[in-house]
Structure 1
Amino acid sequence: MKSICIVKTGSTFSSTRADHEDFEDWIITRLDLTQSTPFTVNVQAGDSLPDPSQCDGIILTGSHSMVTDEHLWSQKTAQWLKDAVHQEIPLLAICYGHQLLAKSLGGVADYHTKGMEIGTVEIHLTDYIQDDLLFRELPDHIFAHTIHSQTVLELPSNAVRLAYNSHDHNHAFRIGKCAWGVQFHPEFSKEIMNSYINEIAKTEKFDADKKLSLLERSQETKESNALLKKFEDIVCLY
């Protein structure tokens, strides 16, 4: 059995967690688990990271923290990510993890000039997916769930840009052979996305029409959800 380390960089809203559990649970639900055994390391809570060589694969969760806050746990995780990439351990970094991975390797992560992106959105894939282990079986555009205020403004110099949309130029990228960052959430379901829309509406003061519009556009995202199982397959082949 292959071991997959889920690096937990935060938790969801308490109300969302009560109804749907948390980031690591959503990720595990998307895996097959007949060939892999996931274990969670909660770095935000102070858990120590294992040596990357002890992991067959790594998945970083999202977080409600901001990369630019540069918490000590986040800085330590960034250095650990550099080591994992150097060792060519298959790695998938989601949302906050995507931004932290890019920053750790020389990219720039900060607040998006257009503000928050939230909801189920269309994402376009670049021609580089044709040679990419994770993305190559996807169509030229997919739908995915998003919720982020910060983003990767500049990719690391050696990154391959894999996905974008009208809001975010860098929705997915690859570094080396097997390290990926995705700004969107392949672990989200429609119900979880709707929970986020309802929670964010309380703090962002959405008007009723905007909230209703986001909920109406919410849908299941089969292609992006499938990326987690595909990543597990890659881990098991390495």
Structure 2
Amino acid sequence: MHIGILQTGTSPDAMRPVHGDYSDLFERLLAGRGLTFSTFDVEHMHFPEGPEACEGWLITGSRHGAYEDHPFIAPLEDLIRAIYAANVPLVGICFGHQIIAKALGGKVEKYAGGWAVGPQQYDFAGRPVTLNAWHQDQVTVLPEGAEVCGSNDFCANAALLYGDRAYTVQAHPEHTPEFFVDLAKARRGIVPDAVLDPALARRDTPLDDIYLADQIARFFTERTLA
């Protein structure tokens, strides 16, 4: 199955030679599951011709806010609505989670409670799931048709399922512990030390990235999480 990665940001320059770019992180996360990939750098206005250009779509994280005014935001929202209307499976991670909700009528805001950084535990339909997070923005109002399928006390709308059309997650299953540590070094000063240092102390917490990778692949190929 051919998946189009809609890349909405880039890894920090110093990290790219070691970890690759955002698209590389997802290709590694989803390797061995019968998926092939093409990347479209939509942050720099390189868009696919339309929803049918690939058999499924994945929107990456970004340093940008979904509510900010950047040239790529409006055409990306148009593409999201077109993909959704064409019933082509769509997955969004972090910024992808947020921009899909916004494009479909929800609301994204900078969360008053601050940052979620590093390993976080979520409730996914009764299953505890631990993933690395890196966000201050959250989906605060759900669009019509979105069902919460993952949450915790800090992030009520941490994963959303839109029937068989879209599946989105606020956390970063593609962030390995090594990537998280290097990102923390690169972004120190943006995230308060009082948040960052305890998160780094939890850096070796076992993650459920394989579980999320399986869920994403199953959603693409079977249009379900079950």
TM-score of the aligned structures, taking structure 1 as reference length: 0.86
Instruction: Kindly report which structure 2 residues correspond to 1:118-197, keeping only aligned pairs within 5 A, or say none.
Output: 118-126=117-125, 140-197=127-184
Instruction: Return 162-171 or 224-233, whichever deviates more.
Output: 224-233
C-alpha distance in structure 2 between counterparts of 1:155 and 1:227, whole Å: 22
**Aligned residue in 1 for 2:203:** 218
What residue in structure 2 maps to residue 19 of structure 1?
18
Q: How far 1:144 sits from its partner (Å)? A: 0.6
Cα pair 2:115 2:191 within 8 Å, conserved = no
2:28 aligns with 29
Letter in 2 for 1:73: F
**Which 4+ runs in 1 deviate beyond 6 A?**
none
Bigger fraction of residues in helix: 1
2:33·2:217 contact (CA, 8 Å) conserved in 1? no
**Mean Cα displacement is larger for which, 95-104 or 171-180?**
171-180
Count of residue pairs brought into register by the alignment: 223
Alignment of 1:85-124 (within 5 A): 85-124=84-123
> What are the superposed Cα offsets for residues 89-122 of structure 1, whole Å, 9 maximum, x if unpaired?
1111011111000001110001011112111111
Give the corresponding residue for 1:130: none
Larger RCO, structure (CA 8 Å, separation 6 or more) = 1
What RMSD, in angstroms, separates the aligned Cα atoms of the two structures? 1.9
Report SS of the residue matched to 1:92: strand
Q: TM-score, normalised by structure 2?
A: 0.90
Q: Which amino acid aligns with 2:148?
A: R
Report the CA distance between 1:165 and its aligned residue.
1.1
Cα–Cα, structure 1 residues 215 and 34, in superposed 2: closer, same or farther, change >3 Å?
Answer: closer
| 34 and 14 in structure 1: CA distance in 2 versus 1, 3 angstrom threshold | same
**8 Å Cα contact 1:90-1:235 kept in structure 2:** yes
Contact 1:32–1:229 (8 Å) recurs in 2: no
Q: Residues 12-91 of structure 1 correspond to what in structure 2 (within 5 A)? A: 12-33=11-32, 35-91=34-90
Counterparts of 2:144 and 2:53, CA distance in 1 = 28
The Cα offsets for residues 171-223 of structure 1, whole Å up to 9 and x where unpaired, read as 0001121301110001110111112222232333515xx54421121236542
Q: Which moved more, 1:57-66 or 1:24-33?
A: 24-33
Counterparts in 2 of 1:195-210, with a 5 A limit?
A: 195-206=182-193
More displaced 10-residue stretch of structure 1: 63-72 or 90-99:
63-72
Measure the CA separation in 1 of the matches of 2:196 and 2:192. 9
- Contact between 2:167 and 2:219, CA under 8 Å: does it hold in 1? no
CA contact (8 A) 1:61 1:94 kept: yes
- Partner Cα distance (2:178, 2:221) in 1: 30
Task: Mark the runs of 5 or more structure 1 residues left unpaired by the alignment.
Answer: 127-138
Cα pair 1:12 1:64 within 8 Å, conserved: no
**Is there any run of 5+ residues in structure 2 with no aligned partner, and where?**
none
